[in-house]
């Protein structure tokens, strides 16, 4: 299967500019499809590497702040119910560093809704034209 796709891709790259339209359309379509699949795989790998927080969260336990102290070592401030815990995370171990007596205030993060962000972008785009 991969040999066939590779041969079609190579054939599409070596086709002269005046080739028959049906062959060129098939070749460009397959090349575009391969490009889109590769883009999806690269974006998936990138999202996995960035370790973005999940969209759905548990209200009982969440990460308030995190500090990277090494390549795979972090210090996390966890909110568990009403308590805050300072936890050290390494590649092989998770250990409790401290239980905070006075909880730190959570940072206020405001995220505008998608519709309002899109509206601002469209308005800015319309003004520049």
Check whether residue 74 and residue 95 sit in a common domain.
Answer: yes
Say what the pLDDT of residue 39 is: 96
Each residue of 2-43: pLDDT tens digit? 667 666 666 666 555 555 555 557 888 899 999 999 999 999
**Region for 81 from its dihedrals, namely left if φ exceeds 0, alpha if ψ lies in -120 to 50, beta otherwise:** left
Rounded mean pLDDT of 94-104?
Answer: 89
Domain carrying residue 117: 58-129
Check whether residue 125 and residue 73 sit in a common domain.
Answer: yes
pTM of the model: 0.41
Check whether residue 46 and residue 62 sit in a common domain.
Answer: no
Check whether residue 68 and residue 129 sit in a common domain.
Answer: yes
Each residue of 68-94: pLDDT tens digit? 999 989 999 998 888 899 999 999 999
The helix (H) or strand (E) run that includes residue 63 is strand 61-68
Q: Give the chain's domain count.
A: 2
Check whether residue 71 and residue 30 sit in a common domain.
Answer: no
Check whether residue 80 and residue 101 sit in a common domain.
Answer: yes
């Amino acid at each position: 299967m991969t040999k066939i796709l590779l041969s079609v891709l190579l054939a599409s790259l070596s086709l002269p500019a005046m080739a028959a339209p049906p062959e060129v359309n098939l070749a460009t379509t397959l090349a575009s499809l391969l490009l889109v699949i590769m883009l999806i795989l690269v974006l998936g790998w990138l999202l996995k590497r960035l370790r973005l927080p999940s969209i759905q969260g548990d209200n009982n336990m969440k990460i308030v702040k995190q500090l990277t102290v090494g390549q795979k070592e972090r210090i996390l401030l966890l909110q568990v119910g009403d308590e805050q815990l300072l936890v050290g995370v390494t590649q092989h171990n998770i250990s409790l560093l401290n239980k905070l007596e006075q909880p730190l205030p959570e940072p206020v993060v405001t995220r505008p809704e998608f519709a309002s962000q899109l509206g601002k972008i469209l308005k800015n785009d319309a003004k520049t034209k």
